[in-house]
Amino acid sequence: MDKKTPLYEAHIDLNATMVPFAGYLMPVQYPQGILFEHRSVREKAGLFDVSHMGELHLTGKDALRNLNALISNDFTDLALGKIRYGVLVRKDGTAVDDLLVYHIDEDDYWIVVNASNTDKDFEYFTNNLSGGAVIHNESDEWGQVALQGPLSEKILRKLTDKIPEAYYSFIQEVDLSGIPCLISRTGYTGEDGFEIYCASDKVTHLWNTLLKVGEEDGLVPCGLGARDTLRLEAAMPLYGHELNDNTTPFEAGLKIFTKLDKPNFIAQEALSQPVLKRRIGLTVIDRGIAREHCPILFNGEIVGEVSSGTMSPTLGKAIAMGYIKAELFNETEFTIDVRGRLLKAERTKMPFYKK
């Protein structure tokens, strides 16, 4: 049975269309629709319920050593109050999940993971931690909203002056309308914005307060539909699509977030081998939209498949990400089989959209 986030009733009150997602009932859109929500985030601001995301708390004198052993990135020089992206990997280099690591205090880290993987990630950490490190699953204790778009800082400043200035930084214990919050300058839309965490029983008040103070600036509630089109334009990977149990960070184009020269890194040997596939961006030239699992062809031969695809509201054309054989990475012209129709597609540099 699907769980509900603490904001479920708030979505019902706003007449959201609810769908099952990652084990939760989540809003896919509100009455004004996905296109309206998408454009609001690109031009003004949008508010998302991301309370389904998981929060794991890692502490102990060997916390850092374990992060560096199990996650693709290097956290050695991650300063207090800063955040770093990485991929949790197995010994064979494949992705357990992608996540964000928050450096809370000395020997104290917060790991934000994808909702569908929270239990899997917690079990993986628990089974692979060594030395003096302890991990707790705090997901049920937290509510989270994402305030995204060019006017998000203006809206947030109506409630506080304590705002993280740098991208991928955060501030703790910020009072927002009487609610203690952690505010991070992060997001999944390709726009400036914030992800705001508070106690789960306070998140409805936070949601309503933000919508009220942001109304005059065009802030609107947004669902999963707009979240997906926004992240796809920004070419951000989504677990279950661009990342999965059979894909490595190098194949996914996440080399910048993968450091092999760390002591005791679990996947060092596996990730030192040549990759077999590569993630690419594609623009569909012919009329039609390429969706997940559509075959990608080169010279009439199937050489990969689409991982995500949509009609880009910002660019006005169909875009897609997908995987192809590594040896074809520098080719530029492909075709995509969309239910028997072969559509021309051009290799496109990612991200498709950059603010």
Q: Is 103 helix (H, G, I), strand (E, B) or coil?
A: strand
pLDDT of residue 1: 86
Q: Are 346 and 281 in contact (CB under 8 A)?
A: no
| Cβ atoms within 10 Å, residue 73 | 21
Cα separation, 193 vs 110, in Å, equals 20
Cα separation, 75 vs 145, in Å, equals 26
Closest CA to 135 of 58, 199, 22, 248: 58
Q: Is the dihedral of CA 351, 354, 43, 211 positive or negative?
A: positive
pLDDT of residue 268: 98
| Cβ atoms within 10 Å, residue 283 | 18
* DSSP track, 62-102: THHHHHHHHBSS--TT--TTBEEEEEEE-TTS-EEEEEEEE
Cα separation, 45 vs 153, in Å, equals 9
Specify the DSSP element, H or E, that contains 41.
helix 34-43
Query: Tens-of-pLDDT digits for all 355 residues of the chain?
Result: 899 999 999 999 999 999 999 999 999 999 999 999 999 999 999 999 999 999 999 999 999 999 999 999 999 999 999 999 999 999 999 999 999 999 999 999 999 999 999 999 999 999 999 999 999 999 999 999 999 999 999 999 999 999 999 999 999 999 999 999 999 999 999 999 999 999 999 999 999 999 999 999 999 999 999 999 999 999 999 999 999 999 999 999 999 999 999 999 999 999 999 999 999 999 999 999 999 999 999 999 999 999 999 999 999 999 999 999 999 999 999 999 999 999 999 999 999 999 8
pLDDT of residue 98: 98
* Cα dihedral: 247, 234, 259, 241 (round 10): -10
pLDDT of residue 167: 97
In the chain, what are the domain boundaries? Answer: 276-348
- Across the beta sheet with 24-29, the strand order is 3-4, 24-29, 17-21
Q: Which CATH superfamily is domain 276-348 in?
A: Aminomethyltransferase beta-barrel domains (2.40.30.110)
Q: Which amino acid is at 129?
A: L
